[in-house]
Amino acid sequence: MMDVSELGESARYLRQGYQEMMKVHTIPWDGKKRVWVPDEQDAYVEAEVKSEATGGRVTVETKDQKLLTVREAELQPMNPPRFDLLEDLAMMTHLNEASVLHNLRQRYARWMIYTYSGLFCVTINPYKWLPVYTASVVAAYKGKRRSEAPPHIYSVADNAYNDMLRNRDNQSMLITGESGAGKTVNTKRVIQYFAIVAALGDGPGKKALEDHQGRGGGWGLRIPGLTSTPNLLPPRQTLPHPSPPYPALPHIRGLAL
C-alpha cells in the first residue's frame, strides 16, 4: 500500500486520512430502515422506512422530516457508512444507481475526482486546477499496482504502459464522456505520463524528475489538433528516426470519444 506522504500536497485530493475516514465510517446506522428514494431535485435522498409495505406502497421520512408515500419498487437499499468514500464502486454491498451517485458526490465534495468502478476509472471534472499532476505524483505512481495507490488516471496509464513492456503487446485506452467532461484534459495527462516515465527509464522516479527540473528541463506533450500544448520532449532532446523497414514495436493507442 502506498504511503500517502509520497504524494506531498496532493495527498488530500486523492485519499482521505485515517481520522477523517473514521468520522465517516462510525456514523450510527440502521440497515433495515435506511433507503434511497427518488427526488426531483437531488435525484435521490436518504430516508427511513416508517411503515411496512401495504398494497405495494410504503411510508418513508426523509432527512428534512418530510413524510412520503412511495412505491416499494422505487426504494433502493443503502450501504452501511463503512462503504462511504469507497475508492472502488465495485466493492459496494448494494451496487445501485443511488449508492453510486452518493459515493461520487461524497468524494467530489472533498475534491477527490477519481474513483474506480471495476476495470474503469470514473473522473468528474472539477472545473478548477488541482495539484494532482505534479512531479511527486508521477514518481509515486510509477511502477505501482492499481490496488496499491489511490484512484488516478496515472495509475491506469502506468498499468497499460507496464503491460505493454511486460507482454510485448499493444494496449488501448478508451476515454469517453459527454462534452465538457474532461476527455481532452485526461488524454493530455495520459500522454504526459507516458512521455515522462519513458524518458526516466528504470531510474529512481522522483529524484530523476527533480534533477531534470533542476537543470532547467521541462515536460509537456503534443496531441494532434491541440496546438496550445508544449512539446512532448524536454528541451534540446530529439528522438532518432529508425531506418526502413520500421520495426513493429508494441504501442498504446488512446481513443477519446
d(CA 12, CA 1): 16
Bridge partners (DSSP) of residue 123 are 114
Same domain, 61 and 152: no
First to last CA, the chain: 33
Residues at the binding site for ATP are 177-184
d(CA 184, CA 155): 18
Q: What is the pLDDT of residue 7?
A: 86
Which residue segment(s) compose the domain that 75 sits in? 20-80
Residues 6 or more apart in contact with residue 132 via CB below 8 angstroms: 10, 13, 14, 113, 152
Structural domains counted in the chain: 2
Give a yes or no: residue 86 inside a domain: no
Same domain, 64 and 160: no
Residues at the binding site are 177-184
- What's the longest Cα–Cα distance across the chain? 78
Give a yes or no: residue 4 inside a domain: no
List the pLDDT tens digit at each of the 257 positions of the chain: 677 788 888 999 999 988 888 888 988 887 778 999 999 999 999 999 998 877 889 999 998 899 999 999 999 999 999 999 999 999 999 999 999 999 999 999 999 999 999 999 999 999 999 999 988 899 899 999 998 999 999 999 999 999 998 998 898 899 999 988 889 999 999 999 988 888 776 654 445 455 544 444 444 433 333 333 333 334 434 444 444 554 455 667 666 66
Which residue matches cell numbers 411510508? Answer: 59
Domain boundary among 65, 80, 95: 80
**Which letter does DSSP use for residue 7 in this model?**
G
76 with 35: CB under 8 angstroms? yes
Give a yes or no: residue 89 inside a domain: no
